[in-house]
Amino acid sequence: MSAPPVEPADTHLASEPAAALRTAWRVGTVVEARPETSSARRLVIDVPDWPGNDAGQHLDVRLTAPDGYQAQRSYSIASSGTGTRIELAVDELPDGEVSPFLVEDVMVGDKLELHGPLGGYFIWMPQADTHDPRPVQLIAGGSGVVPFLAMVRAHAEAADPTPFRLLYAVRQPDDVFYRQELTQLAANGLQLDFVYSRTAPHDWPVPAGRITKDALAGFAIPASEKPRVFICGSTGFVELVAGWLIELGHGAGDIRTERFGGK
Amino acid sequence: MNHVDGNALAGQLSDLFAFDLTTAVGRCINCGTSGMLGAAMVHQAAPGTVARCPHCGAVLATIVESSDRIWLSLAGLTAIEVTKPG
């Protein structure tokens, strides 16, 4: 009698989401560092034992001072997939303990201690894996756009049929992360909207100002289409937007949030 | 510093569990609401980390770390449900 067919182990592993892979502290080497905006920097880090990550996951960076003092912060990953090179875009917080080092000081060739990939809650996976055809609304406040970069890139790469819309609230045009890439993605199916809170481009139809419930209603996929919504930004921004979405009829269970603190 | 989401616990909890606890569903012992831990309200400004129920505000979990120890309490959670990997 022959043995029952057994799925090859490697096929089985390949179908597992990266979130299921064991996370660990790892050492990465900075291989690229360039300014993203006047206060932010894009870093590409090579991590030889990186197991890959899902779009939207984060990692922790730990810095150790010569006297042994350690500081640790979480950063969203702008890349996803199976490669060993991961990309971060870090905004410098004036009173930060980790971001000033990553934005001002770290150089190509430097090594960083990283813990990841982390978190299976705030992730997007292609419809081929989830069989969820609902449209996806992404809402970013400032540097909260970083996990969405991973998502819109993964969405484009997979030629995924899920309707994707990104609402990006930012202070001024110069603060936009990944402008060129987002513009290209917008030309290829991503619905991209900006809300400028401080200064709008001179030809912009809407005056600059804080995001309003009306603007949100105009730029977000309506509740009647039952979109899955991801919101990432400062705690104040996320609270405001999530509250309005509930008032606009979105289900609390359809909204996932990633607050990064602050006001 | 305002609260963040349960998603931010992923790093600390991965030191303790072989699976991602932020996607596990737990029931609040106070109000009975079930939800993913990733959706909890997490306060990190205290000496430790405190996760609260997003519905009733009751404390679900606390994590305190020193240089060589981690204290974890899940006293506010019951019936944690985890998806088996693979």
Query: Is the distance from CB of A262 to CB of A106 less than 8 angstroms?
Result: no
Sign, CA dihedral A185-A191-A195-A199, equals: positive
Express each pLDDT in B11-41 by its tens digit: 999 988 888 999 999 999 999 999 999 999 9
Q: Which of A137, A120, A127 is nearest to A254 (CA)?
A: A137
**Percentage of residues in chain B with pLDDT exceeding 90?**
72
Is the residue at A194 inside a domain? yes
Cβ(B9)–Cβ(B22) under 8 Å?
yes
Tell me which residue in A115, A116, A258 faces B7 most closely, judged by beta carbons: A258
Long-range pairs for A67-71: beta carbons < 8 A, 24 or more residues apart = A71/A97, A71/A98
pLDDT at A18: 47
Interchain contact A164–B (C-beta under 8 A):
no
- Kindly compute the dihedral angle of the four CA atoms of residues B57, A136, A233, A81, in this order, to the nearest 10 degrees: 110
* A139 plus A75 within the same structural domain: no
User: Domain of A49: which CATH number?
Assistant: 2.40.30.10
Q: pLDDT band for A187, please (50, 70, 90 cuts).
A: very high
| Residues A255 and A138 reside in one and the same domain | yes
> What pTM was estimated for this model as a whole?
0.91
Share of chain A above pLDDT 70, in %: 92
A143 and A100 fall within a common domain: no
Neighbours of B18 (CB within 10 A): 9
B17 chain-A contacts, CB cut-off 8 A: none
Q: Do A119 and B10 touch (CB under 8 A)?
A: yes
When pLDDT is averaged across residues A209-227 and rounded to a whole number, the result is 96
What CATH number did the domain enclosing A198 receive? 3.40.50.80
Q: Are residues A21 and A139 in the same domain?
A: no
The structural domain count of chain A equals: 2
A110 and A22 share a domain? Answer: yes
Report if residue A89 sits inside a domain.
yes
Looking at every residue in chain A, the average pLDDT score rounds to 91
- Contact (CB, 8 A) for B18 and A22: yes
Q: Classify residue A3: in a domain, yes or no.
A: no
Tell me the pairing of strands B77-81 and B70-73.
unpaired
Assigned domain for A1 exists:
no
pLDDT digits (tens, 9 = 90+) for A71-119: 999 999 999 999 999 999 999 998 899 999 999 999 999 999 999 999 9
Choose the mutation target among B3, B4, B21, B44 for the interface with A, i.e. most A CBs under 10 Å: B4
Domain that holds residue A182: 127-260
Domain boundary among A118, A135, A158: A118
| Same domain as A93, residue A155 | no
Residues A66 and A109 in one domain: yes
Backbone angles phi, psi at A66, to 5 degrees: -55, -30
| A28-70 confidence digits (pLDDT tens) | 999 999 999 999 999 999 999 999 999 999 999 999 999 999 8
Q: Is the pLDDT of residue A4 over 70?
A: no
- A193 vs A1 pLDDT, higher one: A193
